[in-house]
């Protein structure tokens, strides 16, 4: 079993603050995906990164894939209460979508 560790596990911040969530592994992944999951719902894809060192931006969210394709980060600028949720990273080793999910980061943005 490949382990994807996310940190922090829980994060509570004030509206307007910046934050970074980390996803680390000792394994190399062909791609890494970030999802957001609401209670009682399935994960919803935010972004996929495939190239080492790749940076992708989605409005106030910035995703980076590590050079060695073992880790990734999600940076949120000026967090909003609507950003509150569970953020999951998931790695794909073989390109077969047999995703290994991370442990998750539960973000709470306080108005």
Binding site for another protein (CB under 8 A): 30-31, 33, 40-45, 48, 88, 90, 92, 95-104
Provide the minimum distance between the beta carbon of 53 and another protein in the complex, in angstroms, as a whole number.
20
Closer Cβ to another protein, 58 or 78, answer by number: 58
Residue 27 or 77 having the CB closest to another protein: 27
Residue whose pair of structure tokens reads 């495939």 in the numeric block: 50
We find the least distance from the C-beta atom of residue 69 to another protein, in angstroms, to be 15
């Amino acid at each position: 079993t490949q382990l994807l560790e996310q940190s922090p596990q829980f994060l509570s911040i004030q509206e307007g603050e910046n934050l970074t969530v980390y996803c680390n592994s000792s394994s190399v992944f062909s791609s890494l995906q970030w999802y957001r999951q609401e209670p009682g719902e399935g994960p919803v894809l935010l972004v996929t990164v495939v190239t080492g060192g790749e940076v992708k931006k989605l409005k106030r969210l910035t995703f980076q894939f590590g050079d060695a394709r073992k880790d990734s980060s999600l940076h949120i600028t000026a967090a909003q209460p609507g950003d509150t949720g569970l953020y999951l990273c998931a790695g794909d080793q073989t390109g077969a979508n047999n995703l290994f999910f991370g442990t998750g980061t539960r973000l709470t943005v306080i108005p």
